[in-house]
Chain A
Amino acid sequence: MKHLLSIADLDRAGIEELLDLSASFREVTQRDIPKVPALRGKVVVSLFYEDSTRTRISFETAAKRLSCDVMGFSVSSSSVKKGESLRDTVQTIEAMGIDAVVMRHSAAGAPNRVATWIDASVINAGDGCHEHPTQALLDLLTLRRHLGSSLDGARIAIVGDILHSRVARSDALAFAALGADVTLVAPPTLLPSSLAGWPVSVSHDLDELIPDLDVIYLLRIQRERQNEALFPSLREYTARYGLTVERAGRLRKDALVMHPGPMNRGVEIAAEVAEGPASVITEQVTNGVAVRMAVLYRLLGSGASVGAPPLPSASGRSERPSGEGATIG
């Protein structure tokens, strides 16, 4: 595995390998000194053409916990402002000697193009309305911790602006790959025109589904969309598709509430629900660091199979973890 561009590039076994590795790294992140020298000397550049708080910090934290050198690239203060092309920018950065680019861009497929131009690994941290694969992996890690290692038969609804959501594309593929029964819930204007080939079913009626769900995954609604005739108002959106306190009360007792953030409290999710016992939203963020450590390790590590990764110890020697919770470093 050279790049991580899309969940569509991974099969079930590949996803499960990354999740097993993530579980090991999650244990690392819980330590007093949550840092291992696994990728000492490796250089990772975070190249964000679009604003991001949590994803960028999450990746940079993950890279630092693996002892990578991390360089940030800020579009607003760079030569991109002077009109430098994407290809020139990434080739210039690569010429400085780097091992991976963590990239976010407002255009779908920009990381795919970059991967054809440079030798370093490319990690997609969100590209336009296409994919956000590490978000899907951290969501899966969160689900596995609550539902067990298989999602077979789990009923998951992804609710909101599917059309414009890279999270929805990656999650739908990832959840279905692990056996979940995925339903996309949205007004028809916020769904893609075709869902041919998507391993999902579709509903426009959240209330009908609510009592049967194991997981409800809410997507951020961008306020601008109401100006594009995609729905009449935020008020009407909330009334039909928001996870209000009343609606959350009809969820099963053990159902999980998820959200990729940032939330519009009071729009797609009520503040009380986001803070409530069913919510695993904060845990998603925590798991993000572990998943991104796993991805970086998988792409930049010694090249060993992820099934039984020979993780270097603090002294530089390798040890074999015996599974989740094994001692690393």
Chain B
Amino acid sequence: MADLVITGGRVLDATGERTADVLIRGGHVVEVGEDLRGDETLDATGCLVTPGLVDVHVHLREPGMEEAETVETGARAAALGGYTAIVAMPNTTPPLDDPAVVASVLAAGEHACCQVASSGCITKGRLGRELAPMGELHRLGVRIFTDDGDCVADAGVMRRALEYSRALPGAVISQHAEDPALVNGGAMHEGEWSSRLGIPGRPAAAEEVIVARDVILVALTGAHVHFQHVSTAGAVELVRAAKARGLNVTAEAAPHHFTLTDACCASFDPVFKVNPPLRAEADLAAIKAGLADGTIDVIATDHAPHPTEAKERPFEEAPSGMLGLETALALVWDELVLPGVLGPTQAFAALSWKGAAIAGLAHHGGPIAPDTPANLCVFDPEHRWEVDAARLASKARNTPFAGRLLTGKVRHTILRGEPVVRDMEAQR
């Protein structure tokens, strides 16, 4: 295999930042240093060369909703966004509660532009009653267990899932924290805007009640709970307090939860409908503060494709979810790094190596050093671009950021030594 060298960039990983070339051979980084030569060169002048991004929360819709996304198209969108590993969520049809279904997703991902890991359900059918075969799924490599889309609402079932997971090394119980009884059919954040628009609300309390309860269950069981898409100031504070007690909890936040508010819903356009919902200004500030002080460990997209016709229904009737993979890094750069909320290293920690650690993806997240797998992102932090929904690689078009001008774009993505994205174009 030919030598590939990435030249002229600033190498940034968990160990620090330095100007260096990166020489890649046989799928691995072999040397990081000055004036390296290879058979093939990727220009990284003016760019950051970082470990590939890792998204612990992605909906690839396969099997069952291939009209919205497939493993192949979702992985391509991910690669264009700088990701080298993503974790597929289990709310497919059938759901990922069965080894054969999980194996089919992993097989579909083998030749994709991005490594595709699979989550597994906590409960059979994501119904919240009986445990899914977590041990069998774990043997296939599943580390993140979740009923995402739905909350494990029954405290007794959650307790047993947490206890059971302790026998499975690296297992994480990943909770979509929204109490269905308090959500009660709500379609947007309950507050000033839901009251005015007459759209049934999902209160912040629905999220916070479950976070508080699950923190107590972590204290009881010692298992690892990961809180998905934390969206409220109260939930951030609960996670912060749990971490201060030394409890085994981690948390993620989605870019839309620190960039968009519930006021967007005034257009009644369901492109702004997502669960948990877009919140109020004070919640956005709390999410940013939680990312800045490490209360929130990772940024995950909750990339949720839906066919256009599904989003052309009235707000209350349309499905929830929005695209995220191709815009996440630029939004982090624009809204968090440039305003000084996060330093560049903090931002990439939240986008890459912290997620790799939670998901048990040892080949991702760096550091960029000799004899490590060459899964890398080359990011041009000055490239200005406008989000054009029609040009996204995802099959779906439901981005709430259409028309937005962003600063920063992924120039190259290297997966196992292969440039799967080169000069902002997917190579396969």
Nearest CB on B from A129, distance (A)? 4
Could you mark each residue 314-357 of chain B with 1 if its beta carbon is under 8 Å from any beta carbon of chain A, else 0? 11110000000000000000000000000000000000000000
Q: Which of A189-203 contact B (CB under 8 A)?
A: 192-198
Interface residues on A, range: 20 to 34
Chain B residues near A166 (CB, 8 Å)?
198
Mark out the residues of chain B between 278 and 324 whose CB falls within 8 Å of any chain A CB in the assembled complex. Answer: 309, 312-317
Which residues B89-146 have CB closer than 8 A to chain A? none
The answer to whether A113 and B269 touch across the interface, beta carbons within 8 angstroms, is: yes
A109 within 8 A of B: yes
CA distance A86 to B194 in the complex (A): 22
Known: A107-B317, A108-B268, A113-B269. A87 touches B195 (CB 8 A): no
Shortest CB distance B209–A (Å): 15
B278 to chain A: closest CB distance in Å? 15
A129 to B267, CA, bound (A): 15
Residue A110 at the B interface, CB < 8 A? Answer: yes
**A85: which B residues are within 8 A, CB to CB?**
309, 312-313
Among B191, B192, B199, contact of A128 (Cβ-Cβ < 8 Å):
B199
Q: Is the CB of A169 within 8 A of B312?
A: no
Q: Which residues of the partner chain A approach B199 to less than 8 Å between Cβ atoms? A: 108-109, 128-130
Decide if A204 is an interface residue (CB 8 Å cutoff). no
Q: A107-B317, A194-B192, A197-B192 are in contact. Are A129 and B268 (CB under 8 A)?
A: no
Which residues between 84 and 109 of chain A lie within 8 Å of chain B, taking CB atoms? Answer: 85-87, 105-109
Per the bound structure, the CA–CA distance linking A217 and B314 in Å amounts to 30
Taken residue by residue from 189 to 209, chain B's Cβ proximity to chain A (1 for < 8 Å, 0 otherwise) reads as 011101111111101000000
Residue interface bits A166-178, CB-to-B below 8 A is 1, else 0: 1001000000000
Residue of B nearest to A107 (CB): B314
Cβ contact within 8 Å between B196 and A169? yes
> Which B residues between 175 and 222 are near A, CB-CB below 8 angstroms?
190-192, 194-201, 203
Query: In the bound complex, what is the Cα–Cα distance between A108 and B198 (angstroms)?
Result: 6
Q: In the assembled complex, how far is the CB of residue A20 from the closest CB belonging to chain B, in whole angstroms?
A: 28
- Answer whether residue A161 sits at the interface, using C-beta atoms and an 8 A cutoff: no
The one of B192, B198, B269 that contacts A130, using a Cβ cutoff of 8 Å: B198
Contact B314 A86, beta carbon cutoff 8 Å: yes
Taking CB atoms and an 8 Å cut-off, the chain A residues in 113-144 that contact chain B are 113, 127-131
**Are A195's CB and B268's CB within 8 A?**
no
Known A130-B198, A166-B198: A196·B268 in contact at CB below 8 Å = no
Q: Tell me, yes or no, whether A112 is within 8 Å of chain B by CB.
A: yes
> Taking A109-B268, A197-B192 as contacts, is the C-beta distance between A131 and B198 under 8 angstroms?
yes
Contact A109 B196 (CB under 8 A): no
- Chain A neighbourhood of B194, CB < 8 A: 192-194
- Collect the chain B residues with CB atoms within 8 Å of residue A169's CB: 196, 198
Question: Which residue from A107, A192, A196, A197 sits with its C-beta under 8 Å from B315?
Answer: A107
Would you give the shortest CB distance from B121 to chain A, in whole angstroms?
A: 29
Looking at the complex, which one of A105, A110, A193 makes contact with B203 (CB distance below 8 Å)? A193
29 A-B pairs with CB atoms under 8 Å apart are A8-B196, A85-B309, A86-B313, A87-B309, A107-B317, A108-B197, A108-B198, A109-B199, A109-B315, A110-B314, A113-B312, A128-B198, A128-B199, A128-B314, A129-B198, A129-B199, A129-B200, A130-B197, A130-B198, A192-B194, A193-B190, A193-B203, A195-B195, A196-B191, A196-B192, A196-B195, A197-B196, A198-B195, A198-B196
The residues of B with any CB-CB pair to A shorter than 8 Å are 190-192, 194-201, 203, 267-269, 309, 312-317
Given A8-B196, A166-B198, A194-B194, 11 new contacts (CB under 8 A): A85-B312, A86-B312, A86-B313, A108-B199, A110-B314, A113-B312, A113-B315, A128-B316, A130-B197, A193-B201, A194-B190
